[in-house]
Amino acid sequence: MSDFLLSARALARHYPVRLPGGLLGRPATLKAVDGVDFDLARGEVLGLVGESGCGKSTTAKLVLGHVPPSAGEVRFDGAPVPTDRRADWRRLRRRMQMIYQDPLGALDRRLPIVAQIGEPFDIHCPEMPRPERRDRAAALMASVGLRPDQAGSYPHELSGGQRQRVVIARALALDPELLVCDEPVSALDVSIQAQVLNLMSDLRDRTGFAALFISHDLKVVRQMADRVAVMYLGRIVEEGMPDQVFHAPLHPYTQALVSAAPTPRRRARDRIVLPGDPPNPVDVPSGCPFHPRCPAAVARCRSEVPTLMRDAGQAVACHLAQSAGGALSPAPRAPRIPPKAKVA
């Protein structure tokens, strides 16, 4: 058994694109993910935050083997994640499941929900007797708070929150060790978001799954994550416990991100407005990718790429934070964190 359930090392995904210019366009490379390292312990939830286009969903696809890396690798329980649909990929599918933002898109409109919740048993456990599959699907429905009389309902007959409960029940059918959740509540009303997040916390306490939890909403990540990684232009620029990252961010980008998230104590005039254009993954700046927008950049930031360095569990990729922190050391490994206590 490997130390970590999931590890990414120097993970990159580049796409060839064509920019306007010439008859067929000018060839260029879009660096969606560009050298990501992280580890996820069993039962741990790692929150991945960052603004739109920073590479969160591409990281999720790489973790699941939906797209092959351009460089680096993802390991699940010590073995590389296969990217072709061989038998070992199928075995892995039982152990890692995905929850997407759009439950309607993830469900089959023509099938009653109980059949969709029981589908993983049909695919992966064909030897299981039919009555047992039915009973297990009914138990899963109950575990996510769906009523027995809703078993025959079709996705369009349910609310958004109920549909996401169906998706969660189906994802948990085979008792996966890892859930990859890409904006799982961002399509829901705020009041329903809280219910679904509480449900996910309860289920996690009961079943002990680990999760890569992606959201642009810091509040949501704060509720779910044991550890938080902040992405900017395809890289992780800061990582630490939620209290560290949200209350004492070290990276100037995290400081701006946190300042923009409303809280009762944070005033609008405390918001840090970043100068410059939003980042472009086709044209990644030299040195620190954040330097053109960084209010504190110095000459070194323009020429030297900062590596992620760690101090007391908090890691940061910033020359300025590192020289101020002094004791920071290279950060190849994440700390082991016991599963989070139940959310009230």
Using CB under 6 A as the criterion, which residues of the chain lie in contact with ligand ATP when the complex forms?
A: 15, 17, 30, 32, 50, 52-58, 216, 281
Give the residue with the Cβ less far from ligand ATP, 19 or 298: 19
Cβ 290 to ligand ATP shortest distance, Å: 15
Shortest separation between residue 195's beta carbon and ligand ATP, angstroms:
23
What is the spatial distance between Cα 306 and Cα 290, in angstroms, rounded to a whole number? Answer: 10
- DSSP letters for 61-89: HHHHTSS--SEEEEEETTEEPP-S--HHH
Closer of 172 and 180 to ligand ATP (Cβ): 180
Smallest distance from the beta carbon of 50 to ligand ATP, in angstroms?
A: 6
Q: How far is CA 38 from CA 91, 187, 213, 221, 308, in A?
A: 23, 27, 13, 17, 11
Provide the 8-state DSSP code for 295: T
Minimum distance of ligand ATP from residue 256's CB (angstroms): 16
State the minimum distance, in angstroms, from the CB of residue 51 to ligand ATP: 7
- Nearer CB in complex with ligand ATP: 169/218: 218
Give dist(CA 2, CA 334) in Å, integer: 14
Name which of 10 and 17 has its Cβ closer to ligand ATP: 17
Q: Which helix (H) or strand (E) holds 252?
A: helix 252-259
CB atoms closer than 10 angstroms to residue 35: 19
CB of 103 to ligand ATP, least distance (A): 16
The rounded distance, in Å, linking the Cα atoms of 286 and 292 is: 9
Min separation Cβ 53 and ligand ATP, Å: 4
Whichever of 50 and 120 has its CB closer to ligand ATP, that residue is 50
Of the pair 53, 292, the CB lying nearest ligand ATP is at: 53
CB 13 within 8 A of CB 62: yes
Helix (H, G, I), strand (E, B) or coil at 321: helix
Where does residue 131 rank: exposed (0-12), middle (13-18), buried (19+ CB within 10 A)? exposed
Comparison of 16 and 338: residue with beta carbon closer to ligand ATP: 16
Distance in angstroms (rounded) separating the CA atoms of residues 91 and 136: 20
